[in-house]
C-alpha cells in the first residue's frame, strides 16, 4: 500500500470524538478507517459456481474439494509425478493426497490458488500452527460437519451476505433439482440463467429443448430461425427465468465472437430471443468474454485458455440496445483497459470482477486501480467465481486487502488537497463497490421492463 508523506490535522476537529460524518484528521486515521470499513462491509458476490445445500452433491465443500479444484490440478501436473491418466483414475481423496504432497509438502504453497487454501483453513479455525502439514488432521476436523453448517460458517467468515449461482437448464442433474424438488430454499443463494449451449451449440440445445416440450426443429437448422420457433425459445427463457427467479441471463463466450452477423445463429438468437426476453422481464444480460475451450483436453476442466476478444461486439450491442443493461467481464489482460474506456462511453455497460486467470493479487491490484481512475465507483470491482464453498473466504480476503489499498490511495490524495473524507464517505463508497452498483444495474433493468 502506498504511503503518503504529508499529514494534515485540522485543529477544528482536534480532541473531538468523531462522528461518522466528521472529516478524518490524519492519514494514519484514514488508513485505519478504510481498512476497517472495507473489512467489515458485507458483499453481494455477483457470480459464483456455488450452490445452496438444497443441491446436495452439486455444492462442493471441504478440504479435499479445495485441493482437487482445477487450478490446483493444473499446478499439480507441472510438478507431480503421475500422468494424466494415472491421476484421473484416482478418486477425489487420493487426488487430494497427491496435490497436497506435491504443492503443500514438497514445496511452499505460494501460488494464488495454493496460498488461498491456507487462508481459508486458517480463517475457519484450522490453524496450520496446530494442524501442521497433516492433511488427515484437517479432514478429521470437518468430518462431522454438515453442508448447511459449513455454508453458515463460510458466509459469516467471508462477510458475504448473498451469492449468485450459475444455473444451467441444460445441465440434467441441476435441472432435476428445479423440476422435481423445491429448488433453492436458501435466500442467500440467488440464481442466474446460463445459456451457453443455446448460443454456441444450437443443434445440441435444440434436441434438449424438444425433449423438454418446446416445439423446435432438430433436423433443419434453417427452420430454427422462423418466428414460431423463436417464440418457443423466448418461452423457454421466460419459463426458466421465472422458475429459478433469475437475476440476470448470462453466457460465457469465446473471444472471436462477431456481432452482428446477418444469418448467424448467435446474432439471431440474441436479437430475436435473448434481448427481447431481457427487456420484457427487466433483466440485465451478463457476458463473460474471452474463453478458448479445451486447449489441453487432458486437463479436463483445467484445460481452458484465455484469448484476446474483439470488443466491438459490446460496442455494437450498446449502440443497438441502449436500454439493455450489460454486465461484462473479459478474460484477457489486454482487453481490460479497452473495456473500462468503453464503459465510459456507454452508461448501460458495467464491468465486473477479475475473472479466472486475472484473479491473482497483482492483476486485481492493477485492474482495480485503473478502473477506479477511469470509472470512479461506478463498476463492480470483484466477484469470486468460486466453485468450492470455502474459496469465498480467501478470494474475498485477498480482494478486500487490495481494494483497501486502492481506496486509501485515492482518499489520501483528496485529503492532501483538503477535500476531507469522513467515515460516512468511506462506508457509502465501499457499499457501492460491494453490492450497491449491482443493485443499481438490476433497478435500471427493471425500469425498462416490458
CB distance 269 to 247 below 8 Å: no
240: Cβ–Cβ under 8 A, 6 or more apart, which residues?
A: 169, 193, 246
Q: Which helix (H) or strand (E) holds 189?
A: strand 189-194
Task: Select from 122, 141, 160 the last residue of a domain.
Answer: 141
pLDDT for 20 equals 86
Residues 51 and 72 both lie in one domain: no
Residues 272 and 246 both lie in one domain: yes
Phi then psi for residue 403, to 5 deg, are -60, -40
Residues 186 and 121 both lie in one domain: no
Q: Is residue 94 part of a domain?
A: yes
pLDDT for 450 equals 60
Q: Is residue 185 part of a domain?
A: yes
CA distances from residue 265 to 45, 148, 198, 257 in whole angstroms, order as listed: 32, 42, 9, 11
Grid coordinates of 75: 499446478
pLDDT for 220 equals 83
Q: Provide the β-strand partners of residue 422.
A: 23
pLDDT for 17 equals 53
Tally of domains within the chain: 2
Alpha-carbon span 95 to 88, nearest angstrom: 8
Phi then psi for residue 190, to 5 deg, are -110, 165
Alpha-carbon span 280 to 246, nearest angstrom: 13
pLDDT for 3 equals 39
Residues 136 and 239 both lie in one domain: no
Ramachandran area for residue 134 (φ above 0: left; ψ -120 to 50: alpha; else beta): beta
Residues 231 and 340 both lie in one domain: yes
Task: Select from 119, 141, 163 the last residue of a domain.
Answer: 141
Residues 156 and 232 both lie in one domain: yes
Tens of pLDDT along the chain (450 residues)? 333 333 323 333 333 456 888 999 999 999 999 999 999 999 999 999 999 999 999 999 999 999 999 999 999 999 999 999 999 999 999 999 999 999 999 999 999 999 999 999 999 999 999 999 999 999 999 999 999 999 999 999 999 999 999 999 999 999 999 998 778 999 999 999 999 999 999 999 999 999 999 999 998 877 888 999 999 999 999 999 999 999 999 999 999 999 999 989 999 999 999 999 999 999 999 999 999 999 999 999 999 999 999 999 999 999 999 999 999 999 999 999 999 999 999 999 999 999 999 999 999 999 999 999 999 999 999 999 999 999 999 999 999 999 999 999 999 999 999 999 999 999 999 999 999 999 999 999 999 876
CB distance 215 to 232 below 8 Å: yes
Residues 121 and 192 both lie in one domain: no
Residues 221 and 251 both lie in one domain: yes
pLDDT for 4 equals 36
Alpha-carbon span 110 to 344, nearest angstrom: 37
For residue 81, give its domain range.
63-141
What CATH number did the domain enclosing 90 receive?
Answer: 1.10.2020.10
Give the count of alpha carbons within 13 A of 306, CB side only.
16
Residue 27 burial (C-beta neighbours within 10 Å; 0-12, 13-18, 19+) = buried
Amino acid at each position: 500500500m502506498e504511503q503518503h508523506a504529508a499529514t494534515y490535522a485540522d485543529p477544528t476537529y482536534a480532541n473531538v470524538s468523531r462522528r461518522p460524518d466528521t472529516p478524518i484528521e490524519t492519514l494514519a486515521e484514514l488508513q485505519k478507517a478504510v481498512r476497517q470499513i472495507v473489512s467489515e462491509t458485507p458483499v453481494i458476490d455477483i457470480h459464483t459456481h456455488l450452490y445452496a445445500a438444497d443441491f446436495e452433491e452439486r455444492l462442493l465443500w471441504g478440504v479435499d474439494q479445495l485441493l482437487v479444484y482445477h487450478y490446483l490440478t493444473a499446478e499439480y501436473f507441472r510438478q507431480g509425478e503421475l500422468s494424466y491418466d494415472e491421476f484421473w483414475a484416482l478418486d477425489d481423496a487420493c487426488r487430494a493426497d497427491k496435490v497436497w504432497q506435491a504443492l503443500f509438502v514438497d514445496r511452499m504453497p505460494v501460488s494464488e490458488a495454493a496460498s488461498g487454501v491456507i487462508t481459508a483453513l486458517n480463517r475457519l479455525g484450522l490453524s496450520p500452527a496446530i494442524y501442521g502439514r497433516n492433511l488427515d488432521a484437517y479432514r478429521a476436523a470437518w468430518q462431522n460437519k454438515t453442508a448447511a453448517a459449513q455454508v453458515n460458517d463460510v458466509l459469516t467468515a467471508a462477510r458475504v451476505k448473498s451469492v449468485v449461482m450459475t444455473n444451467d437448464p441444460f445441465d440434467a442433474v441441476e435441472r432435476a433439482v428445479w423440476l422435481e424438488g423445491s429448488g433453492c430454499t436458501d435466500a442467500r443463494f440467488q440464481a442466474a440463467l446460463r445459456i451457453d449451449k443455446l448460443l454456441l451449440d444450437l443443434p445440441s440445445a435444440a434436441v434438449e429443448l424438444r425433449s423438454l416440450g418446446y416445439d423446435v426443429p432438430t433436423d433443419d437448422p434453417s427452420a430454427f430461425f422462423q418466428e414460431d420457433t423463436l417464440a418457443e425459445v423466448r418461452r423457454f427463457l421466460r419459463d426458466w427465468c421465472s422458475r429459478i427467479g433469475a437475476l440476470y441471463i448470462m453466457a460465457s463466450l469465446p473471444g472471436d465472437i462477431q456481432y452482428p452477423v446477418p444469418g448467424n445463429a448467435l446474432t439471431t438468437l440474441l436479437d430475436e430471443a435473448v434481448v427481447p426476453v431481457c427487456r420484457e422481464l427487466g433483466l440485465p444480460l451478463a457476458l463473460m468474454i474471452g474463453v478458448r475451450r479445451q486447449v489441453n483436453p487432458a486437463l479436463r476442466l483445467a484445460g481452458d485458455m484465455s484469448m484476446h476478444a474483439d470488443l466491438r461486439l459490446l460496442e455494437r450491442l450498446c449502440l443497438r440496445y441502449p436500454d439493455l443493461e450489460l454486465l461484462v467481464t473479459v478474460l484477457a489482460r489486454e482487453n481490460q483497459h479497452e473495456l473500462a474506456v468503453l464503459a465510459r462511453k456507454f452508461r448501460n455497460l458495467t464491468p465486473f470482477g477479475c475473472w479466472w486467470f486475472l484473479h491473482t493479487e497483482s492483476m486485481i491490484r492493477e485492474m482495480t486501480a485503473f478502473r477506479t481512475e477511469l470509472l470512479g465507483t461506478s463498476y463492480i470491482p470483484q466477484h469470486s467465481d468460486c466453485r468450492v464453498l470455502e474459496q469465498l473466504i480467501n478470494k474475498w480476503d485477498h480482494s478486500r486487502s487490495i481494494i483497501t489499498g486502492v481506496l486509501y490511495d485515492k482518499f489520501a490524495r483528496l485529503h492532501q488537497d483538503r477535500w476531507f473524507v469522513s467515515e460516512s464517505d468511506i462506508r457509502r463508497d465501499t457499499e457501492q463497490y460491494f453490492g450497491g452498483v449491482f443493485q443499481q444495474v438490476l433497478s435500471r433493468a427493471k425500469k425498462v421492463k416490458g
